[in-house]
Amino acid sequence: MANKKKQTVYRTTAGETVYGVMAEFATPADLYHAAEKVRDAGYKAWDVYSPFPVHGMEEAMGLPHTKLPLLTGIVGLTGAGLGLLLQYFVTHLAYPMVVQGKPMFAWEPWTPVTFEIGVLFTAFCALLGMFAFNRLPMWYHPLMKKERFLRVSDDRFVICIESKDAKFDPQATRAMLESVGGKHIELVEE
């Protein structure tokens, strides 16, 4: 069994647990370049918040590609296969009946139902997978207590480095965010 590094719990002078350090950036370009520098500094537990998608941010953050398309493809094909098997069972085994002289396993009339069940499974998998991969619904997040963060859905660009990161140190993280152009840097409490 591998030994895990004991995570340091940081507390404010008031005794509250520290969630992380948050910094604002003026433009999407500043946010993008800061994300590259945070990634290059070796931080792993951090996120970027902006009012709109910033092109290329996944690469700037060093995020791996999502497994959701593969998952939805597998589930969609499984659903289509189950739809085909259901129709085979009903028309060949449960209630066999020759219709218009066609063979018992005539797949052509079953195509629309097979397709629709495949689409249904794919849609539900995509929706539920998106919720699961994004850890939604999230009823509480510590950043929501910060007044400046509440404008991120309007005109703010924010990076927050979490205290659970192995490289996190409140003063060193603050200094690093200042060096990459962060403004209004704040400690975020749980």
pLDDT digits (tens, 9 = 90+) for 80-103: 999 999 999 998 889 888 877 878
Tell me the range of 4-18, 35-49, 104-118 where mean pLDDT is highest. 35-49
pLDDT digits (tens, 9 = 90+) for 132-177: 999 999 899 999 999 999 999 999 999 999 999 999 999 999 999 9
- DSSP states of 104-146 as a string? SS--GGGHHHHHHHHHHHHHHHHHHHHHHHTT------GGGG-
Is 125 a residue whose pLDDT tops 70? yes
pLDDT digits (tens, 9 = 90+) for 23-33: 999 999 999 99
For 160, the 3-state DSSP assignment is strand
Strand ranges in 28-110 using DSSP code E only, listed in sequence order: 46-49
